[in-house]
């Protein structure tokens, strides 16, 4: 990711110099580049909007949430041993008490700390996988109840 950002900076530099434009809002400090800021705090800091067609985020050791299915079907997960899927009742109780999903930062935390795209995308995928399993369980129960009703009606 750092290489991509550096490459983008180089191309932007070449383009601007070839067009004889100046870098009005660009700063370089301690090897860090700031656009719209004089105090960059990361390799590339942009104060403002960024327009791009695509962003690739490397996992760099992060675990994709297939551990949700592994834990559900096998009873535990080697990928993420501490993971446990809450029941719908436990989830409802948590939401009622804290007003946000379990494992997901609250609105206040997000406002204070911001969010990291990789972490949030993996967390949201975990929640999607849990939702899919809850839906499958509910469909099985619906099918079973339909069958019981059908037998009663006959």
User: For 75-129, how does the pLDDT look when each residue is reduced to its tens digit (9 = 90+)?
Assistant: 999 999 999 999 999 999 999 999 999 999 999 999 999 999 999 999 999 999 9
Q: How far apart are CA 125 and CA 121, in angstroms?
A: 6
> Radius of gyration (Cα) for the chain, nearest Å?
24
| pLDDT class of 154 with cuts at 50, 70, 90 | confident
Q: What pTM value is reported for the model?
A: 0.75
User: For 7-59, how does the pLDDT look when each residue is reduced to its tens digit (9 = 90+)?
Assistant: 556 556 655 555 545 566 788 888 899 998 889 999 999 999 999 999 999 99
Q: How far apart are CA 68 and CA 65, in angstroms?
A: 6
């Amino acid at each position: 990711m750092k290489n991509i950002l550096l490459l983008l900076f180089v191309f932007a530099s070449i383009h601007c110099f070839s067009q004889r434009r100046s870098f009005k809002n660009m700063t370089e400090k301690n090897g860090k580049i700031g656009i719209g800021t004089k105090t960059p705090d990361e390799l590339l800091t942009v104060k403002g909007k960024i327009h791009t067609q695509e962003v690739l985020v490397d996992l760099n050791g992060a675990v994709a949430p297939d551990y949700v299915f592994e834990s559900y079907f096998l009873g535990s997960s080697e990928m993420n041993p501490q993971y446990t899927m809450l029941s719908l009742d436990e989830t409802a109780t948590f939401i009622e008490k804290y007003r946000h999903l379990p494992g997901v930062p609250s609105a206040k935390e997000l406002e204070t700390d911001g969010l990291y795209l990789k972490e949030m995308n993996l967390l949201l995928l975990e929640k999607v996988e849990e939702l899919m399993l809850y839906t499958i369980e509910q469909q099985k129960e619906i099918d079973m109840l339909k069958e019981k009703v059908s037998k009663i009606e006959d």
